[in-house]
């Protein structure tokens, strides 16, 4: 496609020179009466040079502007045929009209006019046997060739435009995919950093008042949380490196909620996790969900617990996941706490926006609102069949 574009650019640069050469050739041929080879003429006397040269210049000028006004070129060529009996300009004008317009109606009208002008003197001098083949060769054959060339050129131009448009759209899709990937990585990094840092801050606060074995235990917990955060961040950063292969480690999901809850419990927050099946009974194991939904639910719970760490202190929190063949409903509810959350943790509101976008991407809906007792609740509903389809 790029080679075709380069060829078109080269042709555009050379076209004025080619047009000038063709116009000059037509003018010379017409002025010389096609080399004095004309046999069939409207007039018995051969026109003088003072007539032939101006007519040749007029036909040459019409040939120069044939791309914009092919009808004018045809009229000039037919006039030259009447005056000088020059047929080369008529042949060229017929081809030009058909090639530039690619219209059967306009080409037919021009061909009929040319036949009417060209066939008369040939018929008078040579009869039907001469008029038929010569008129068809001068008027019809170049018109058919011009229609073929013009139609093919337009078809190739449309195909080239369609291919270029498809290439542009593909490029836009690639850019959009990269943008979506960056946004996904940004959401993951936000979730990892805020959750792990909030746990570190809470453990550090507990470390300030701990002594002896408790201090060493809390210190080991802080180290473990920091190492886990670095591991997750390293796996996300690897995706951004163009020269590195993306890690194939599975993303966390419902099966990892127990570990997530245990981390929050280790900071003193009472968290209850309930997995309920379609009958309303406690499910023996997490349901099998599509990977995108499984990971989205995990991130929603993670962000909800992070907000509890920030704002609700040791408020009692309940995580409830109910699964049916058609719907998954998640709710994370925390009560009101008299103890403030972890100090020094910023809250920009991006976390809720991020998990809301995650749920919308899998076809669900997320709501976040305060409860009447002063707590907070996050709910998400995801239609499973729509997501699978």
pLDDT in tens, 135-154: 788 888 888 998 899 888 88
Cβ 135 vs Cβ 112: under 8 Å = no
Does the pLDDT of residue 292 top 50, yes or no? yes
* Beta-bridge mates of residue 327: 383
Q: How confident is the prediction for the chain on average, in pLDDT?
A: 77
User: What is the number of other CB atoms lying within 10 angstroms of the CB of residue 146?
Assistant: 24
Nearest to 80 by CA among 61, 99, 52: 52
pLDDT of residue 257 exceeding 80:
yes
Task: Kindly state the average pLDDT of the residues 383-389.
Answer: 61
pTM of the model: 0.48
pLDDT in tens, 89-144: 888 899 888 888 888 888 888 888 888 888 877 777 767 766 778 878 888 888 89
pLDDT of residue 80: 87
**What per-residue confidence (pLDDT) applies to 243?**
46
Integer CA distances (angstroms), 133 to 118, 130, 288, in order: 12, 6, 82
Tens of pLDDT, residues 145-181: 988 998 888 888 888 888 888 888 888 887 777 777 6
351 contact partners, CB below 8 Å, separation of at least 6: 190, 191, 194, 303, 306, 307
Q: What is the model's pLDDT at position 199?
A: 66
The per-residue pLDDT for 387 is: 46
Model pLDDT for residues 30-63, shown as the tens digit of each residue:
888 776 655 556 666 677 777 888 888 898 888 8
Q: Which of 64-73, 184-193, 237-246, 338-347 has the highest mean pLDDT?
A: 64-73
Q: What is the largest CA-CA distance in the chain?
A: 129
* pLDDT higher than 80, residue 359: yes
Task: Please report the pLDDT score of residue 331 as a whole number.
Answer: 92
């Amino acid at each position: 496609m790029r080679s075709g574009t380069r060829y078109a650019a080269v042709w555009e640069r050379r076209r004025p020179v080619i047009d000038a050469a063709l116009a000059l050739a037509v003018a010379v041929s017409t002025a010389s009466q096609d080399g004095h080879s004309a046999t069939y003429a409207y007039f018995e006397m051969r026109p003088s040079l003072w007539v032939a040269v101006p007519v040749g210049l007029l036909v040459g000028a019409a040939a120069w502007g044939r791309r914009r006004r092919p009808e004018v070129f045809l009229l000039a060529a037919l006039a030259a045929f009447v005056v000088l009996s020059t047929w080369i300009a008529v042949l060229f004008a017929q081809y030009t009209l058909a090639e530039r317009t690619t219209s059967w109606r306009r080409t037919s009208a021009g061909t009929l006019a040319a036949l009417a002008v060209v066939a008369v003197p040939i018929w008078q001098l040579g009869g039907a046997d001469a008029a038929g083949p010569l008129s068809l060769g001068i008027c019809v054959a170049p018109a058919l060739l011009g229609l073929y060339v013009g139609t093919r050129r337009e078809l190739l131009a449309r195909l080239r435009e369609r291919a270029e448009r498809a290439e542009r759209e593909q490029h836009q899709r690639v850019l959009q995919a990269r943008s979506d990937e960056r946004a996904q990585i940004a959401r993951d990094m936000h979730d990892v950093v805020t959750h792990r840092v909030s746990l570190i801050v809470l453990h550090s606060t507990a470390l300030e008042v701990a002594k002896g074995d408790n201090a060493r235990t809390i210190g080991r917990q802080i180290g473990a949380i920091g190492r886990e955060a670095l591991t997750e961040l390293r796996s996300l950063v690897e995706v951004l490196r163009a020269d590195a292969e993306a890690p194939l480690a599975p993303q966390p999901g419902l099966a990892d909620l127990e570990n997530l809850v245990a981390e929050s419990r280790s900071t003193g927050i009472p968290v209850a996790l309930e997995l309920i099946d379609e009958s309303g009974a406690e499910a023996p194991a997490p349901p099998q969900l599509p990977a995108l939904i499984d990971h989205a639910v995990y991130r929603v719970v993670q962000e909800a617990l992070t907000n509890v760490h920030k704002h609700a202190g040791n408020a009692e929190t309940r995580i409830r996941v109910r699964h049916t063949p058609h719907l998954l409903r998640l709710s994370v509810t925390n009560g009101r706490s008299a103890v403030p959350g972890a100090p020094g943790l910023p809250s920009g509101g991006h976390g809720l926006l991020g998990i809301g976008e995650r749920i919308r991407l899998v076809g669900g809906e997320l709501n976040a609102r305060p409860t009447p007792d002063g707590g907070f609740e996050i709910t998400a509903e995801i239609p499973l069949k729509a997501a699978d389809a």
